[in-house]
Amino acid sequence: MSHEEINQNIASIEENRSSRRSAILMGGAALAGLALGRTAFAQSATVTDADILNFALNLEYLEAQFYTIATTGMTLDQAGIATKGGDGTAGGAVTVKPNAKVAFTTPLLQKFAAEVAMDEQNHVKFLQSQLATAAVAQPPIDLMNSFNALAQAAGLGPSFDPFASETNFLLGAYIFEDVGVTAYQGAAGLISNKTYLDKAIGIHNVEAYHAASIRTRIFQAGSAVQIASQMIAAARAHLSGATPNDDIGVGVISGAATIVDNDDNGMTFARSTSQVLNIVYGGGPAGTGGAFYPKAMNGNIK
């Protein structure tokens, strides 16, 4: 059977998928009062593998900072992980509240958080090493105003401190992880080099392991936390600008848990770089940024 025949079949199947989100959407009321808009914009048509890897590196800087600060109270630079670019450009500042180390009380969660911090640091180091002199420096990152803005967007309240408690930490982590999965899946479709593609898929998987573990723990945290996750999923979906979207929060549909953020074909979905930027910028304009990246990302995709 030819690729074209398989393609045609897949195209047909994908049109049949319906979003599980519609069955679990708890954030409808919140969306009506959404504080942030979303900005659709066209992505440059010609991107190199280095552009894609640098886009991923920007995301990994964000994740690594979040988990490193949450588990140690230190930024990457303070922890000995360089954030400067391959050309020596200094990394941007991190905006975060003082003494942000989370007061973990559950050893299983604390250990897992430390594991994720290590993974994200490894991803930063791996991408930096692959990109060598082409690696971008860390852009300015905001882990304070960003969460407040997204909390408002999701209808969770005027402010949100992901470092305030274990539960808040879970929800803060949740905001990133599924987005990371969709971003890498989208990136995989843009990468030409087979070796880079293999590595990107490998990181994609690791982000999915993270996302699953976090979502499982949110499931176990009870209905209030589950509902918060559903409101965040709705906000992510709205911000991304994708239609239809498949972003679902954690809960139960027809007797089945929704640990996996996927569609009715049992497949996770991809987000374009533009859709990812829409989310992490909190709807801020391309090239200008906002939310987690107040000065936009570094590199050609921003």
Partner 1 sequence: MSKLEEILEKRRVSRRRFLNVAGTSAGAVAVMTLVEGCSDSGSTTTTTPTTPTTPTTPTTPTLTDADVLNFALNLEYLEAEFYLRAVTGSGLSSTDAGSGAGAVTGGTQVGFKTPAIQQYAQEIANDELAHVRFLRKALGSAAVNRPSIDLTNSFNAAAMAAGIGATFNPFADENSFIVGAFVFEDVGVTAYHGAAGLLTDKKNLAAAAGILATEAYHAGEIRTLLTQLDVPHITYANQISALRGKAGGGAETTLSASSIVAADTSSISYSRTTDQVLHIVYLNPTAGVVKSGGFFPNGLNGTITASAS
Q: What residues between 56 and 115 interact with partner 1 by CB under 8 A?
A: 107-108, 111-112, 114-115
- Applying CB under 8 A, does 181 fall inside the site for partner 1? yes
Q: How far is the CB of 158 from partner 1 (least distance, A)?
A: 32
| Subset of 186-205 contacting partner 1 (CB under 8 A) | 188-190, 192, 194, 197-199, 201-205
Q: Which is nearer to partner 1, 141 or 214 (CB)?
A: 214
Residue with tokens 């949110």: 218
- Enumerate residues 138-177 that contact partner 1 by CB under 8 A: none
Instruction: Give the number of residues in contact with partner 1, rule: CB under 8 A.
Output: 77
Residue labelled with tokens 């200094």: 90
Of 144 and 201, which has the nearer Cβ to partner 1?
201
User: Furthest-apart CA pair in the chain: how many Å?
Assistant: 60
Which tokens belong to 51? 């552009």
Q: Judged by CB under 8 A, does residue 223 bind partner 1?
A: no
Closer by beta carbon to partner 1, 99 or else 254: 254
Is the omega angle on the peptide bond into residue 139 within 30 degrees of 0, that is, cis?
no
Residue placing its CB nearer to partner 1 in the complex, 37 or 189: 189
- Does position 236 interact with partner 1 (CB under 8 A)? The reply is no
Which one of residues 47, 94, 183, 296 is an interface residue with partner 1 (CB under 8 A)?
47
Q: How far apart are the first and last CA of the chain?
A: 40
CB 129 within 8 A of CB 237: no
Among 79, 259, 295, 300, binds partner 1 (CB under 8 A): 259
Under rule CB under 8 A, residue 222 binds partner 1: no
Minimum CB distance to partner 1, residue 176 (Å) = 15
255 binds partner 1 per the rule CB under 8 A = yes
Per-residue contact string for residues 7-46; x = within reach of partner 1 by CB under 8 A: xxxxxxxxxx-x--------------------------xx
Show contacts with partner 1 in window 113-142 (CB under 8 A).
114-115, 118-120, 122-123, 125-126
What's the min distance (Å) between Cβ of 37 and partner 1? 19
Stretch that binds partner 1, among 26-34, 142-150, 258-266, 278-286 (CB under 8 A): 258-266
The set of residues, in sequence order, having a beta carbon less than 8 Å from that of 7 and lying 6+ positions away, is none
Q: Pick between residue 15 and residue 105 the one whose CB is nearest to partner 1.
A: 15
Q: Rounded CA gap, 35 and 145, in Å?
A: 14
Cβ proximity to partner 1, 87 vs 264, nearer residue: 264
- State how far the Cα of 124 lies from the Cα of 119, in Å rounded to an integer: 9
Backbone angles phi, psi at 290, to 5 degrees: 155, 175
Sign of CA dihedral 113, 116, 118, 121: negative
